[in-house]
Amino acid sequence: MDKKWTVLDALRHSRHDWLNRLQLVKAHLSLGSTERVHELIEEFVGESQQEARLMNLKTPLFAELLLTYSWEPQPCSLEYEILSDIHTLSHLDEELTAWTKRFLSVLHPCLDQREENHLCVTVDQEEEDIRFFFDFRGKLTSIEKMTQWLAKQDSSVFSVSYSLDNEEGSVALQLKEK
């Protein structure tokens, strides 16, 4: 997770992803599935819009972590969603990125890698209330380890709440009022 990616790495991964997408479109066109092609295009547009919203948070470290997560083998897939137009969270970038890296370093060994595991990171803001949700689906092998770690995670910046069971979990980081 701490690998430093070059511009060429980024371009190579981006080109690879877009070629995969184009191959999907081409395959569905050859099958005459124009309805599915339209759905895929809508998915690609939605993903691109989410990527733009992520970058507009002005959190380059956090954005890079999420955008490059799948560039190396991982025990779970990751998606993200920015629910509202948040103008800047630059003041949270380092703390948020460090917390997310620690969370992933605790989560990964607790996952049953024989199962399909998925993590969705959601960012939402209502007025001055900023929240980050980490929602997990899959199979946890050690709820105790996760619970013990999460119980110690309140900081001067974030308060943490969570709910976990063997097959799903939700962790919420909420910005503390200053």
The Cα-based distances of 32 to 36, 44, 66 in angstroms read: 9, 19, 35
Which tens digit of pLDDT belongs to each residue from 4-50?
888 898 888 889 989 999 999 999 999 999 999 999 999 999 999 99
Nearest C-alpha neighbor of 164 from the set 145, 141, 147, 139: 147
1 pLDDT band, cuts 50/70/90, is low
Model pTM? 0.88
Query: What is the pLDDT averaged over residues 102-131?
Result: 92
Does the pLDDT value for residue 130 go beyond 70?
yes
Does the pLDDT value for residue 3 go beyond 90?
no
What proportions of the chain, in percent to the nearest 5, are helix, strand and coil?
A: 50, 25, 25
Pairing of strands 118-126, 77-82: parallel
User: Is-contact 146 107, C-beta < 8 A?
Assistant: yes
157 pLDDT band, cuts 50/70/90, is confident
128 pLDDT band, cuts 50/70/90, is confident
Q: Provide the 10 A C-beta neighbour count for residue 110.
A: 20
User: Is-contact 174 158, C-beta < 8 A?
Assistant: yes
Q: What is the mean pLDDT of the chain?
A: 90
Does the pLDDT value for residue 154 go beyond 80?
no
Measure the CA–CA gap between 124 and 114, rounded to whole angstroms: 32
156 pLDDT band, cuts 50/70/90, is confident
Q: Give the pLDDT confidence score for residue 84 in this predicted structure.
A: 81
User: Is-contact 138 118, C-beta < 8 A?
Assistant: yes
Nearest C-alpha neighbor of 95 from the set 121, 59, 120, 136: 59
Q: Give the pLDDT confidence score for residue 166 in this predicted structure.
A: 87
Phi, psi angles (nearest 5°) of residue 3: -65, 140
